Amino acid sequence: MTGFDDFVDIIKAAGEATRLRLLALLSQGELSVKDLTDILGQSQPRVSRHLKLLARAGLVVRVAEGSWAYFRIAETGGRADFVRRLVGEIDPEDPRMTHDRLALERVRKRHREQAEAYFSRIAASWDTIRSLHVPESALEAAIVQAVGANDMEHMIDLGTGTGRMLELLCGVYRRGTGIDSSREMMAIARAKLAAASIFHAHVQLGDISRLEPDIGPADLITLHQVLHYFDDPGTIIEQAAPLLRKRGRMLIVDFAPHELEFLRKEHAHRRLGLSQGQMEGWAGAAGLEISGFEAFPKKGAGKDLTACLWVLSST
């Protein structure tokens, strides 16, 4: 329950055209200040001022990551429901809503294209690049152990790349599906699976931010070094969760929070790692709970990174 004066402040914060547009945009997922500025076509100081007011009223949360800042709708104190109800009252055909929806789609398309260009460039060397940043053998042993010897019907590997997870876990599933948006990565994955005589897995071109429900159900979903390429990893988890069978698990490998900005510039990363708190929030929103966690630090000439393995289980 919110106190009277606090509630007046909340309504005042939301009761302004740009701030209402910001709430409508952020109710569709986390966004960086830069993207919000591009979408609204307003100056960065102006957009930041509005975001600051929304944050002060507890409607949005700021997450600083290196030189970027991300914003999302606050989940606590019923704020998320309040914002959703508020935004739900707005006519979606209003010209400002239509403008912002299309501009958001353009921004997301630009990010997808940047990631695709990067992956088509590095596809042939991805297996080497991956091993530069993580202690691969320890991590892979932990993945195999976390999955166990369960005889599973179906495994889905989202952002499968060269198909490493399908290859590593080929003994535990009867049917494997890998999804990726890079044709170059797909070509390598197909060749590698065939060379290893893994004929019970196949890979298909697709966008994991728009998953078709008919690719499920699955007993295991893996997201290995994929989520940091998305502004809003939570929506990927939320979309994938309904594909899980009862007692199914989602296995996520990604970096702990870090400050290596060069990974954005040179390797198309968007998020500088994922925190335990973020993962708890995303898992909870997707109806999952964290049932396992392990961290794997790797030291390297001023480029220390920690890879984390999270197991999320359906509750």
Ligand X SMILES: C[S@@+](CC[C@H](N)C(=O)[O-])C[C@H]1O[C@@H](n2cnc3c(N)ncnc32)[C@H](O)[C@@H]1O
Residues near ligand X, by CB under 6 A: 112, 115, 119, 130, 159-162, 164-165, 179-182, 185, 207-209, 224-226, 229
Cβ 54 to ligand X shortest distance, Å: 28
Handedness of CA 24, 30, 32, 35 (dihedral sign): negative
Q: Within 13 Å and on the Cβ side, how many CA atoms surround 33?
A: 19
Give the residue with the Cβ less far from ligand X, 74 or 232: 232
Residues whose CB falls within 8 Å of the CB of residue 83, separated by 6 or more in sequence, listed in order: 14, 23, 26, 27, 59, 73
Q: How far is CA 94 from CA 89, 98, 133, 297, in A?
A: 11, 6, 46, 49
Q: Give the pairing of strands 173-180 and 201-205.
A: parallel
What tokens appear for 263 in the block?
Answer: 């990974």
* Whether the Cβ atoms of residue 162 and residue 126 lie closer than 8 Å to each other: yes
Cβ 212 to ligand X shortest distance, Å: 12
Cβ 308 to ligand X shortest distance, Å: 14
Give the residue with the Cβ less far from ligand X, 71 or 255: 255
Cβ 51 to ligand X shortest distance, Å: 26
Phi then psi dihedrals of residue 144, to 5 deg: -60, -40
Cβ 9 to ligand X shortest distance, Å: 38
Residue with the two structure tokens 């976390």: 146
Residue nearest to ligand X (CB): 161
Give me the amino acid identity at 128. T
Phi then psi dihedrals of residue 155, to 5 deg: -120, 135
Cβ 112 to ligand X shortest distance, Å: 6
Give the residue with the Cβ less far from ligand X, 21 or 133: 133
Give the residue with the Cβ less far from ligand X, 240 or 283: 240
Give the residue with the Cβ less far from ligand X, 51 or 157: 157
Give the residue with the Cβ less far from ligand X, 82 or 230: 230
Give the residue with the Cβ less far from ligand X, 6 or 207: 207
Cβ 186 to ligand X shortest distance, Å: 8
Closest by CA position to 70, among listed 39, 100, 33, 40: 33
Instruction: Give CA–CA dist 74/22, Å, rounded.
Output: 13
Residue with the two structure tokens 């152990």: 145
Q: How far is CA 275 from CA 112, 127, 281, 304, 306, in A?
A: 23, 25, 10, 16, 11
Cβ 122 to ligand X shortest distance, Å: 9
Instruction: Give CA–CA dist 20/51, Å, rounded.
Output: 11
Give the residue with the Cβ less far from ligand X, 224 or 271: 224
Give the residue with the Cβ less far from ligand X, 38 or 184: 184
Cβ 241 to ligand X shortest distance, Å: 17
